[in-house]
Structure 1
Amino acid sequence: MTTRWKVNITPAERTARVVIGGLGVLAGVVLLTSAPGVVAVVLELLLVVAGLDLVVTGALGHCPLYARLGHVPSSLKEKVS
């Protein structure tokens, strides 16, 4: 059974998510190389995970949180049936 998710993110937001998420992943990986303590490592790993989430949701065009909250951008409302 394959589920096709509806696009619920605008093209501009998708681009921003991929760019900002990619920068977050890159920053987290760079910072991990010089992590001075356990708390820093945990925070940097969280940065990497958050960045990956943004990249994936931006690439797919579907945000599960938006779907759960019932949020649909006004520019996409006429396209969603």
Structure 2
Amino acid sequence: MTTRWSTNITPAERAARILIGGLGAVAGIVLLAGATSTLAVVLELLLVVAGLDLVVTGALGHCPLYAKLGHVPASLKGSAS
């Protein structure tokens, strides 16, 4: 069974999510190289995961949290996608 998610992120937000998420993931990876404590490693891994989440949701155009909250941007209301 295939589930088709509806697009609930505007094109501008999608681009911003991909850009900011990519930068966050790369920054987390760079910071991991110099991590000296367990807390630093955990926080930097969280930064990488959060960045990757933004990249994936931006690429897919669907945010599960938006869907759960019932949020649809005004520019996408009435859109068939």
- TM bracket (short chain): over 0.9
What secondary structure does 1:17 align onto?
helix
Whole-angstrom distance in 1 between the partners of 2:68 and 2:78: 19
Q: Which runs of 4+ in 1 moved over 6 A?
A: none
1:75 equivalent in alignment to 2:78: no
RMSD: 1.1
Q: Output aligned runs, 1:1-80, within 5 Å.
A: 1-80=1-80
5+ long unaligned stretches in structure 2: none
Whole-angstrom distance in 2 between the partners of 1:19 and 1:2: 29
Whole-angstrom distance in 1 between the partners of 2:52 and 2:2: 23
- Under a length normalisation based on structure 2, what TM-score does the superposition of the two structures give? 0.97
* Percentage identity across paired residues of the two chains: 77
**Deviation for aligned residue 1:78:** 1.9
Whole-angstrom distance in 2 between the partners of 1:70 and 1:37: 40
What secondary structure does 1:46 align onto?
helix
Aligned length: 81
User: Could you give the per-residue CA deviations for residues 36-55 of structure 1, whole angstroms, max 9, x where no partner exists?
Assistant: 10000000000000000000
Q: Which amino acid is the alignment partner of residue 55 of structure 2?
A: V
